[in-house]
């Protein structure tokens, strides 16, 4: 075989390697590659990605294929495309999502940000359910208990579990540093960004502890919302369970599939 000879004016740039199995479609491997760069904080929320044509040259892949990967990222909410401007990493805001579930409004009927009170933060031994949901082998996990208050009255009680390898800084900062919204705190203090959530909603009799915290009586019902939060590569990074009074529950849903 003849060795290839390059002229002095010919420069070979090696294309960067792609994530994922070689048998996967190129657009899928590009998607994974970009998602990892976002999850790793290489591209941060608000950042603009290189233009399609630039990415196509860098990775030596046709623009149409790059485009498909970017469109899929946009479809999954990881980036936002702005015509004439560019493609930008999204900054999702799930922290208020619970407000969609419960009818907590001020006198004028507007939703508003409830007060947040972190009741405890500590390392505990990992409950089996938490280990399963987060895919953890670590015997210890960070547990935070948070109350959310409307008009000074606790309306939601939340148990929040976080892997200590990702969230250690949360244990040492003051509550003021964390603030009323957790996901921005995760991002700023720990570099962890939530891009998708799954929730499981059910109704049960109030527990003794919750009745005391929420000012309910034995026999009252609570809605409990269990949530798994995932980063850009779909790795679970938070599990929480929130409870509130059932009568205040409300939810809206759109479905295009009938499985």
Choose between 11 and 85: whose C-beta lies nearer to DNA. Answer: 85
Within 10 angstroms of residue 30's Cβ, the number of other Cβ atoms is: 26
Q: Which stretch binds a second copy (CB under 8 A): 90-98, 119-127, 165-173, 207-215?
A: 90-98
In terms of phi and psi (left: phi > 0; alpha: psi -120 to 50; beta: otherwise), the region of 64 is: alpha
Q: Residue 257 class from Cβ within 10 Å (0-12 exposed, 13-18 middle, 19+ buried)?
A: exposed
Q: CB of 243 within 8 A of CB of 203?
A: no
Pick one of 63, 169, 180, 236: the residue that binds DNA (CB under 7 A): 63
| 35 interacts with, out of DNA, a second copy, none, CB within 5 to 8 A per kind | none
Which one of residues 21, 108, 165, 259 is an interface residue with a second copy (CB under 8 A)? 259
- Report the distance separating Cα 65 and Cα 176, nearest Å: 46
Residue in 42, 106, 200, 209 binding a second copy, rule: CB under 8 A: 200
Count of beta carbons in the 10 Å neighbourhood of residue 238: 26
Segment (H or E) for 223:
strand 221-230
Interatomic CA distance for residues 225 and 148, integer angstroms:
14
| CA 212 to each of CA 103, 135, 152, 206: distance values in angstroms, whole numbers, following the listed order | 21, 32, 15, 10
* Contact window for DNA (CB under 7 A) among 64-72, 137-145, 208-216, 218-226: 64-72
Task: Map residues 64-83 to x or -, x wherever contact with a second copy holds by CB under 8 A.
Answer: ------------xx------
Q: Which of 92, 169, 180, 184 lies at the binding interface for a second copy (CB under 8 A)?
A: 92
> In the complex with DNA, which residue's Cβ is closer, 81 or 230?
81
* C-beta of 79 vs 141, nearer to a second copy: 79
**Contact call for residue 233 and a second copy (CB under 8 A):** no
Binding site for a second copy (CB under 8 A): 76-77, 92-94, 97, 194-204, 221, 223, 246-247, 249-259
Binding site for DNA (CB under 7 A): 25-28, 49-54, 61-65, 67, 71, 81-87
């Amino acid at each position: 075989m003849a060795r290839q000879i390059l002229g002095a004016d010919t420069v070979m740039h090696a294309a960067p390697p792609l994530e994922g199995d070689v048998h996967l479609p190129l657009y899928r491997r590009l998607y994974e590659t970009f998602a990892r760069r976002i999850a790793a904080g290489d591209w941060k929320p608000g950042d603009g990605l290189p233009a399609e044509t630039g990415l196509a040259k860098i990775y030596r892949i046709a623009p149409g294929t790059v485009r498909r990967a970017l469109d899929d990222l946009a479809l999954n909410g990881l980036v936002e495309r702005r015509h004439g401007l560019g493609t930008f990493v999204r900054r999702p805001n799930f922290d208020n999502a619970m407000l969609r579930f419960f009818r907590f409004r001020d006198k004028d009927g507007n939703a508003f940000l409830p007060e947040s009170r972190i009741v405890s933060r500590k390392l505990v031994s990992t409950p089996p359910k938490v280990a399963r949901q987060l895919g953890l082998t670590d015997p210890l996990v960070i547990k935070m208990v948070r109350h959310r208050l409307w008009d000074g009255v606790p309306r939601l009680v939340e148990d929040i579990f976080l892997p200590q390898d990702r969230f250690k800084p949360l244990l040492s900062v003051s509550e003021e540093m964390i603030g009323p919204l957790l996901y921005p705190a995760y991002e700023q203090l720990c570099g962890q960004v939530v891009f998708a959530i799954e929730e499981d909603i059910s109704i049960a009799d109030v527990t003794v502890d919750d009745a005391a915290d929420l000012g309910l009586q034995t026999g009252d019902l609570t809605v409990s919302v269990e949530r798994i939060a995932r980063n850009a590569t779909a790795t679970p990074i938070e599990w929480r369970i929130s409870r509130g009074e059932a009568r205040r529950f409300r939810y809206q849903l759109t479905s295009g599939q009938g499985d």
